[in-house]
Amino acid sequence: MCSERKAVSVGAVIELEGLCKRYGPVTAVDDLSFTARPGMVTGFLGPNGAGKSTTMRVMLGLAAPDAGRALVGGRRYRELKRPLLQVGALLETAAPHRGRSGYAHLLWLARSQGIGVRRVREVLELVGLADAGRRRVGGYRPAGDRGVRVGARGAMTRTAVRG
């Protein structure tokens, strides 16, 4: 019921406590609490409209909660010094510019976080786009476009938090 809580979980990678988010009269997330621990695979499943994307947006600082809190590594996302090095997340709407190459997109993200060119090449290899990385994303098949997004949000990080 969207009440504030004060609890501390030691060793949590992701921690949500009493998270609530409303859009006008619609409650998208209602009193959600969970903890994801290091070394564990945590699934986040539910039907359309259950609040999964809204919860991810709150966790990533793209939306403010109406109540509760979302912590990543014990901090709010906006408090992380170099979030792309610590958190990898892929929201369906997160797509690279269709006119840029996969390499250019990943290089831009890497440079913004102090990640070297070598890692960009490694990531393109990891997502199966080593040869296609120099072509514009608009010319990729859907799987290639998704590979760049996965690389950008997940493989670019070397962390326990990937979603």
Write out pLDDT tens, residues 148-161. Answer: 655 655 556 655 45
Virtual torsion, Cα 53, 54, 58, 64, nearest 10 deg: 160
Span 45-81, pLDDT tens digits: 888 889 998 998 899 888 899 999 999 989 998 898 8
Counting residues of the chain whose pLDDT is more than 70, the rounded percentage is 69
Instruction: Tell me the angle at which helices 117-126 and 102-112 cross, rounded to the nearest 10 degrees.
Output: 130
Q: Parallel, antiparallel, or unpaired for β 161-162 and 87-88?
A: parallel
Query: What is the pTM (predicted TM-score) of this model?
Result: 0.58
Extended beta strands in the chain, E state: 14-23, 26-36, 67-72, 87-88, 161-162
Query: Which 8-state DSSP code applies to residue 101?
Result: B
Residue 142: pLDDT band (50, 70, 90) is: low
* Whether the Cβ atoms of residue 59 and residue 72 lie closer than 8 Å to each other: yes
In this structure, how many other beta carbons lie within 10 angstroms of the beta carbon of residue 35? 17
